[in-house]
């Protein structure tokens, strides 16, 4: 008479072949489960190890181990549930919904995400008085109707689908970044003077030097309720957007890589500064194609909160 253990080990294959099948099947099933869980669970901001996102790797291993256990302990029920899931995906794909092609793309994105990190930049020390602070602040006429209208229009140009309320300002700020940076053309100041263009002046031009870009970006983000600051290096000025605490940074990283900038940042590391309150700031420089790209190697000598 066959025991329960004999029945378990013989479905659908016996012996080592059966174990290998269950381990492989559990791995395939664990990936979409993790894709669903990662953006919804509290994140621990664990350090990366060997270039891997440790918190994502641990969650994947936990889900994988649980599925292996279920497949071995309850083979009929577990395999039946997986067959139903495959049937649902098949029907959705036939109706033009989320099908196997989307699932395979998700596998590829998920595996690549295991090696994506957010990297803290060195602490900012020995700051000097911010040269031109008064002129730059005066140039950020974010309550001007021209600037406000441009900011609202840019905030809803990209990523204007259903957005959770907690992500709205962040996503709209990223839309502003994409509108401005897709169109910005660098034009130098006069040879014998430094010229700070007002944001309202730059709106119809979408051109100027680095401080003109920083002023326009900061004014537009302020106009929709975002937190922004300017960073001055020895030869450059660029804007930084506040994305919140450690969990906010991880949420922003997920949005940038997976939802908003998948083509530009899918495989990219994201960089941030941390202030004295623990808030993370990512750069919105005109030289980058996605928020949080590498910053200039020049030393930071001043920060202007606006």
Residue 30: which of 97, 78, 96 has the closest Cα?
78
Please tell me the predicted confidence (pLDDT) of residue 109: 52
Query: In 3-state terms, what secondary structure has residue 228?
Result: strand
Please tell me the predicted confidence (pLDDT) of residue 115: 47
The list of the chain residues with pLDDT below 50 reads 2, 4, 7-10, 43, 112, 114-116
Helix 210-223 vs helix 145-155: angle between axes, to the nearest 10 degrees? 80
CB 181 within 8 A of CB 288: yes
DSSP 242-272: EEESHHHHHHHHHIIIIIISHHHHTT--EEE
Query: Would you state the CATH architecture of domain 133-305?
Result: Roll (3.10)
pTM (2 decimals)?
A: 0.65
Helix 100-113 vs helix 75-94: angle between axes, to the nearest 10 degrees? 110
**Domain positions in the chain:** 4-115, 133-305
CB 59 within 8 A of CB 34: yes
pLDDT digits (tens, 9 = 90+) for 15-66: 677 788 888 888 888 877 876 776 566 545 555 555 556 777 788 889 999 9
Please tell me the predicted confidence (pLDDT) of residue 33: 80
DSSP class of residue 282?
E
């Amino acid at each position: 008479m066959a025991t329960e253990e004999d029945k378990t080990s013989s479905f659908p294959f016996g012996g080592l072949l059966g174990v290998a099948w269950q381990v492989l099947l559990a791995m395939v099933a664990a990936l979409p489960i993790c894709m669903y869980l990662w953006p919804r669970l509290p994140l621990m901001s664990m350090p990366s190890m060997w270039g891997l996102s440790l918190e994502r790797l641990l969650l994947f291993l936990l889900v994988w181990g649980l599925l292996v256990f279920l497949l071995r302990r309850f083979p009929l029920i577990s395999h039946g549930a997986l067959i139903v899931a495959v049937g649902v995906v098949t029907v959705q794909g036939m109706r033009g919904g989320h099908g196997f092609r989307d699932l395979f793309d998700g596998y590829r994105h998920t595996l690549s995400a295991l090696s994506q990190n957010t990297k803290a930049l060195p602490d900012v020390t020995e700051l000097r008085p911010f040269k031109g602070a008064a002129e730059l602040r005066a140039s950020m006429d974010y309550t001007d109707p021209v600037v406000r209208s441009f900011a609202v229009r840019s905030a809803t140009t990209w990523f204007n689908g259903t957005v959770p309320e907690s992500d709205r300002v962040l996503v709209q700020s990223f839309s502003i970044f994409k509108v401005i940076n897709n169109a910005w053309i660098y034009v130098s100041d006069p040879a014998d003077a430094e010229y700070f263009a007002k944001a309202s002046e730059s709106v119809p031009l979408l051109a100027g030097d680095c401080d003109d870009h920083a002023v326009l970006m900061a004014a537009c983000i302020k106009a929709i309720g975002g937190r922004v600051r300017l960073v001055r290096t020895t030869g450059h000025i660029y804007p930084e957007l506040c994305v919140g605490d450690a969990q906010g940074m991880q949420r922003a990283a997920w949005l940038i890589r997976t939802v908003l900038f998948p083509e530009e940042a899918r495989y990219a590391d994201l960089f941030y500064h941390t202030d004295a309150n623990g808030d993370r700031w990512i750069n919105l420089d005109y030289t980058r194609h996605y928020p949080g790209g590498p910053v200039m190697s020049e030393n930071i000598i001043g920060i202007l909160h606006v």
